[in-house]
Amino acid sequence: MTQEEFTAFYPQFAGFTPAAVLSEYIRQANARFSRFPGADAEEARRLYTAHKLTLYAGASPPEGAAFTKAQLAEVGGTRRVASKKAGEVAVTYSSGASSSFSVSSGLADLAETAFGLQLLSLIRLYGRSMYVP
């Protein structure tokens, strides 16, 4: 998958900064899902890249980033509530490692975004042996 193919499918990530991060996640996706068959490999690569970019931008958007945290939530960011409190309003979000999914540490953060949840379903369809963490 190339950067152009990725941004054609997910135009909300066009102009993502820094560009080196986008390139690196595409490189990782191409390597990790090389054993998946045809169209599913492309879908897995797109979902992985979108998931990682969403996590990256949500954690610490770079200065002058094209995305705000609210925009990221609209395009696939999700955070699971671990606990909440009504009086004095308190919310605690869970991390992927403590999610209810039974996955290895290499897959733990997939529960943190909508893209990651879709990818997790695809990985489970083919089994863990086809994914290289």
Sequence ranges of the domains in the chain: 3-130
Name the β-bridge partners of 90: 85
Predicted model pTM: 0.68
Peptide bond into 11 cis (omega under 30): no
pLDDT for res 63? 59
**Angle, alpha carbons 16-115-45 (nearest 5°):** 75
Tens digit of pLDDT at every position of the chain (133 positions): 999 999 999 999 998 888 899 999 999 999 998 888 888 999 999 999 999 999 888 776 555 555 554 455 554 555 555 556 666 666 555 554 444 444 455 667 888 889 999 999 888 887 655 555 5
Q: How far is CA 99 from CA 33, 47, 106, 116, in A?
A: 23, 19, 13, 13
3-state secondary structure of 46: helix
